[in-house]
Amino acid sequence: MRTTTGQDTRGPLPEGLGQAIRGTAGDIAALLRGARDTAVPVPGSEWTVGEAAAHLALANELMADLAAGRERPYGDGTPQSLAEANERSLADFTERRAEPLAVMITEQAEAFLDAVTRPAAKGVDVGTPDSPLGPMGREVLASYLLTHMLGHGYDLARALGRPHMIDRARVGLCMPFMRAVMPRVADASATAGFTARYRIRLRGGETFGVSVADGTVRVTAGPPDGPDCTILIEPTAFLLVALGRRDPWGAIARGQIVAWGRRPWLAPRFPTLFKAP
């Protein structure tokens, strides 16, 4: 840890974020405890329920360590490196039983919340955690943890035939991470030579801007000037499409995505500009 002037940047998370992390971990634990067989395959994945749960348990532990100021290198942020890191960690950690994994997921979520909100010792700075997707302040890191749990929690719910735990409020709390990470996960081949300004509106939620200019992606808290395309999207659909869990054309067909503006035909291209890690 680095010494500093003693300024403490820790304290309560934004309203609802801590409760959402705790609630999502509890929802996932309840799913696991209701599972008869953790060898059930996860749809659209090479993992079983037990492997996905083990990954979640390990990821929550990783995030708790980062929040506590411990260095935990985990890939270089590219999809390939993260997949390799996941494979190595699952090979080393062999627990696949529902109850131990449920306990670990909830305990490590609590450890994260304790670490991220506990005031640092006077004169000590835990620094900015270096997450698998780059340096992040504690609010964005907490939003990252929530987003990660919701994505894999959705997978577990599908595999077990149970309702998922994603709702509008929780998606809203994922947005600090989603906005921060978009430039980092932009697909260079998809954005090269492409210029567009998008206004993204979550139905009943926030509006933000995404500008693309020849390989560079810029995200703004408000809409860009003179947007080419406005996309109105249902919050749950936004998160699932962004995480690669839902096909955007299916969401369009269900009326969950509507677009207009000078170049409305750019709407289907928007999700292709990013590569989910």
Which residue ranges make up each domain of the chain? 2-181, 186-273
Q: What is the pLDDT of residue 35?
A: 96
Provide the token pair at 154.
């959705």
Residues of the chain with pLDDT under 70: 1-11, 120-126
Q: What is the pLDDT of residue 6?
A: 34
Q: What is the pLDDT of residue 1?
A: 32
For residues 239 and 171, the answer to whether their CB atoms sit within 8 Å is yes
List Cα–Cα distances, 245 to 12, 13, 42, 239, 250, in angstroms.
Answer: 31, 28, 12, 8, 11
> What is the second-level CATH architecture of the domain 2-181?
Up-down Bundle (1.20)
State whether CATH 3.30.1050.10 applies to domain 186-273: yes
Residue 274's identity, in one-letter code, is F
Give the residue ranges of DSSP H helices in the chain. 17-33, 49-67, 79-92, 98-117, 138-160, 168-181, 188-191, 235-242, 248-253
| Among 274, 273, 275, 266, CA closest to 199 | 266
Interatomic CA distance for residues 269 and 18, integer angstroms: 34
For residues 115 and 70, the answer to whether their CB atoms sit within 8 Å is no
Q: What is the pLDDT of residue 11?
A: 67
For residues 234 and 251, the answer to whether their CB atoms sit within 8 Å is yes
| Among 132, 197, 198, 205, CA closest to 174 | 205
Q: What is the pLDDT of residue 79?
A: 87
Can you give the pTM of this predicted structure?
A: 0.93
Q: What is the pLDDT of residue 3?
A: 31
SS3 76: coil
Interatomic CA distance for residues 25 and 16, integer angstroms: 14
Provide the token pair at 228.
């080419």
Q: What is the pLDDT of residue 118?
A: 82
| Among 164, 137, 156, CA closest to 37 | 156
Q: What is the pLDDT of residue 77?
A: 84
Residue 248's identity, in one-letter code, is P
Interatomic CA distance for residues 105 and 22, integer angstroms: 10
